[in-house]
């Protein structure tokens, strides 16, 4: 009986020791790994467009901030993808806030416009292909899955579209990749820019940027000009202390779609990703007869109501384009500014 009692006490003290040991180990682990004991860091992209409704051809601006636990992140990258209502890529950029993070192990070292033989070339005809040779550096130790995007803008900040590829995984070291981009026959002549970016996947499926954007300029010429081009400001991006901004235009004369455009934003900072979806709408307000073109028929509609105010026999609220309750020269000016625009 006495022996049994002793055994039982020993068993109890042994399980007590084991329990204490487990508690001690858990405590030791949590003190040695303080990150697990602290609340998770919250990365947040806050962004907006400068308007929610744009007339086709207006400047479209995306502005925002990147914060980590409420503090602005001055060394960050935010991916911005804009798609049209049919889900075609319109804009893909990576915006700095305004400095890129340090210690990035993936880079786009160089972007070079080249001819079909791979020789550097700085002027390309409308309606032809421009090839871009890109040099990538994978400074890591394993191959990486990369989605590369090529977004070209003409001299008027009009996006000429986005081409993208997902090449075989990029091994450690340097890698050259070439992609062909069709220059529309309707592109404006002058200095164009290509903005190249590398993502884990497209931002619309949550892909975050690997590295800052790299870009190159080239001239879009017609067969009759001899490389004489003007330069200008294209596709401007800016950023300051945790904020970012990007401006672009949709093509106005080649049938850009009207409707709702989604904007996908992604970022990854300190291992924390964030994703944001915005939308804006594009209309062609001066297309009064809704045939997706601003032409003489729309002008006639304004002319018929010219000089009228609400209550007048020929009053037509549609012709009052600036909504000031009179159809006058200001409405004519608005329609003349849009004359020739085409949407789909
Ligand atoms: Ca029309
Ligand atoms: Ca008016």
Of 106-110, 149-153, 184-188, 338-342, the least confident: 184-188
Buried b (16+ CB within 10 A) or exposed e, 161-199: bbbeeeeeebeeeebebebebebbeebbbbbbbbbbbbb
Å from CA of 83 to ligand 2 middle: 33
The better pLDDT of the pair 104, 23 is held by 104
The better pLDDT of the pair 295, 223 is held by 295
Å from CA of 308 to ligand 2 middle: 9
Q: Are residues 129 and 156 in the same domain?
A: yes
Å from CA of 59 to ligand 1 middle: 22
Å from CA of 283 to ligand 1 middle: 12
Q: Are residues 273 and 301 in the same domain?
A: no
Q: Are residues 28 and 82 in the same domain?
A: no
At residue 330, the pLDDT reads: 96
**Four-residue CA torsion sign, 23, 24, 29, 31:** positive
- Domain of 88 in residue numbering reads as 43-283
Å from CA of 73 to ligand 1 middle: 47
Residue 112 exposure: Cα atoms within 13 Å on the Cβ side: 17
Q: Calculate mean pLDDT across residues 81-100.
A: 96
Å from CA of 255 to ligand 2 middle: 27
At residue 11, the pLDDT reads: 56
Å from CA of 286 to ligand 1 middle: 7
Q: Are residues 29 and 173 in the same domain?
A: no
Q: Are residues 182 and 167 in the same domain?
A: yes
Please name every residue paired with 90 in a beta bridge, in sequence order, or none if there are none.
none
Q: Are residues 50 and 33 in the same domain?
A: no
Buried b (16+ CB within 10 A) or exposed e, 78-89: bbbbbbbbeeeb
Is the pLDDT reported for residue 309 higher than 70? yes
Q: Are residues 228 and 98 in the same domain?
A: yes
Å from CA of 298 to ligand 2 middle: 15
Q: Are residues 205 and 321 in the same domain?
A: no
Q: Calculate mean pLDDT across residues 59-79.
A: 95
Question: In this structure, which ligand is nearest to the CA of 294?
Answer: 1
The whole-chain average pLDDT of the chain stands at 89
CATH of the domain at 324: 1.10.1330.10
Q: What is the pLDDT of residues 237-257, one digit of tens each?
A: 777 789 999 999 999 999 999
Q: Are residues 97 and 229 in the same domain?
A: yes
Q: Are residues 202 and 58 in the same domain?
A: yes
At residue 227, the pLDDT reads: 47
Is 124 domain-assigned? Answer: yes
Query: Taking ligand 1, which is a single-atom ion, which protein residues have CB atoms under 5 Å away?
Result: 287, 289, 291, 293, 298
Of 159-163, 179-183, 268-272, the least confident: 268-272
Q: What are phi and psi of 205, to 5 degrees?
A: -110, 25
Question: In this structure, which ligand is nearest to the CA of 318?
Answer: 2
Is the pLDDT reported for residue 9 higher than 90? no
Is 288 domain-assigned? Answer: no
- Helices and strands in the chain: count of H runs, count of E runs: 4, 18
Question: In this structure, which ligand is nearest to the CA of 298?
Answer: 1
pTM listed for this prediction:
0.84
Is 343 domain-assigned? Answer: no
Please name every residue paired with 80 in a beta bridge, in sequence order, or none if there are none.
93, 265
Is the pLDDT reported for residue 78 higher than 50? yes
Edge to edge, the sheet with strand 106-114 lists 106-114, 129-138, 173-182
40 vs 48: CA distance, rounded Å: 26
At residue 236, the pLDDT reads: 65
Our count of domains for the chain comes to: 3
At residue 10, the pLDDT reads: 53
Q: What is the pLDDT of residues 258-302, one digit of tens each?
A: 999 999 999 998 889 999 999 999 999 999 999 999 999 999 999
Residues 6+ apart with CB under 8 A from 22: none
Tell me the three state secondary structure of residue 196: strand
CATH of the domain at 146: 2.70.50.60
Question: In this structure, which ligand is nearest to the CA of 289?
Answer: 1
């Amino acid at each position: 009986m006495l022996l049994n009692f002793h055994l039982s006490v020993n068993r109890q003290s042994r399980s007590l020791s084991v329990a204490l040991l487990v508690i001690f180990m858990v405590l030791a682990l949590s003190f040695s790994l303080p990150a697990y004991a602290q609340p998770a860091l919250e990365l947040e992209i806050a962004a907006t467009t400068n308007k929610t409704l744009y007339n086709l051809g207006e400047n479209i601006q995306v502005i925002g901030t990147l914060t980590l636990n409420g503090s602005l992140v001055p060394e960050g990258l935010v991916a911005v993808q804009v798609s049209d209502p049919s889900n075609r890529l319109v804009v893909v950029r990576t915006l700095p806030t305004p400095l890129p993070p340090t210690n990035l192990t993936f880079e786009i070292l160089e972007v070079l416009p080249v001819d079909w033989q791979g020789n550097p070339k700085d002027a390309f005809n409308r309606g032809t292909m421009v090839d871009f040779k890109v040099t990538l550096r994978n400074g890591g130790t394993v191959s990486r899955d990369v989605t590369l995007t090529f977004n070209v803008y003409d001299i008027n900040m009009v996006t000429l579209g986005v081409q993208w590829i997902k090449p075989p995984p990029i091994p450690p070291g340097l890698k050259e990749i070439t992609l062909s981009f069709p220059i529309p026959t309707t592109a404006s002549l002058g200095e164009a820019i290509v903005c190249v970016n590398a993502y884990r996947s497209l931002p619309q499926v949550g892909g975050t940027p690997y590295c800052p954007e790299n870009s190159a300029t080239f001239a879009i010429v017609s067969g009759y000009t001899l490389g004489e081009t003007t330069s200008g400001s294209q596709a401007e991006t800016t950023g300051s202390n945790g904020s970012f901004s990007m401006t672009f235009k949709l093509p106005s004369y080649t049938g850009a779609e009207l409707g709702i455009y989604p904007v996908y934003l992604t970022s990854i900072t300190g291992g924390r990703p964030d994703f944001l979806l915005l939308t804006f709408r594009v209309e062609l307000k001066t297309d009064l007869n809704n045939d997706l073109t601003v032409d003489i028929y729309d002008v006639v509609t304004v002319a018929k109501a010219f000089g009228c105010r609400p209550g007048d026999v020929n009053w037509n609220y549609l012709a009052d384009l600036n909504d000031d309750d009179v159809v006058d020269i200001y409405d004519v000016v608005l329609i003349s500014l849009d004359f020739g625009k085409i949407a789909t």
